[in-house]
Amino acid sequence: MADTPRPSSKLRQIVDFGALVAFLAAYAVMRFVLKQDSTDAMLHATWVLVGASILALIVGWISEKRLAPLPLLTGGFALLFGVLTLVFHDPKLLQIKITVQNALLASVLLGSLPLKKYPFKYLLGEALKITDAGWRGLTLRYGLYFAAVAIVNELVRNPAVVEAALQALKRPPADPYDVWMAFRGGLWMASAIFGVWQVFFIMKHLIPDEAPPEPVSPDTGL
């Protein structure tokens, strides 16, 4: 039987999700309650993101006595680009984080396919027993997903593209940062749906006597 997720892992996932919620909520309060302009709202929300990212890493270390690779990557990127955003007073740096992070993950996953080396197998092989065809398919699917996220993020963070899209849809103009923050919230939901979808694929490739897996979202934290 596959190992069930440890309570510490569940706690880390809750903290990671809380970091995203805190970031989005901080922006919404600053922007729509306190009526700040979008740049200031983004900068204030970034302070919350940096603090929440540090907390998530600390909780991960205390609860699991280690820093798991994917949370470490996403948390590290959030800290790096969050600090750069605050130092240079430029929220565009935080937006780029989504592109860089997902492009890196896509490159690693898709680049591993010709080598028949599947990173997910090394990360999850002890908890999830599926066939090599399953690992290959899962690697391809997540690689393409991360690549798509990187491309879409580049489009959404481009004010000219946003303006053209709104005009094509005959919608009133909108602040580019407002649009990107809405996209960031929607991205979490898309990631959750994508993770659930992969469960059906995984179940087809489970080695006999293994328990059905829990859905795993490809988007961990920020």
Confirm whether pTM is higher than 0.95.
no
pLDDT at 63: 75
pLDDT at 4: 45
Domain segments of the chain: what residues?
7-204
Give the residue-averaged pLDDT of 205-221.
66
CB distance 153 to 102 below 8 Å = yes
Q: Residue 27 and residue 91: Cα distance in Å, rounded?
A: 12
Instruction: Tell me the pLDDT tens digit for each residue of 11-59.
Output: 666 777 788 899 999 999 999 999 999 999 999 999 999 998 888 888 8
Alpha-carbon distances, residue 206 vs 11, 136, 182, 201 (angstroms): 26, 13, 36, 9
Q: Is the pLDDT of residue 217 over 80?
A: no
Q: Is the pLDDT of residue 1 over 60?
A: no
Give the residue-averaged pLDDT of 77-84.
94
User: Nearest-5° angle of CA 73, CA 187, CA 153?
Assistant: 80
Where does the pLDDT of residue 8 fall: very low under 50, low under 70, confident under 90, or very high at 90 and above? low
Instruction: Tell me the pLDDT tens digit for each residue of 120-133.
Output: 888 876 778 899 99
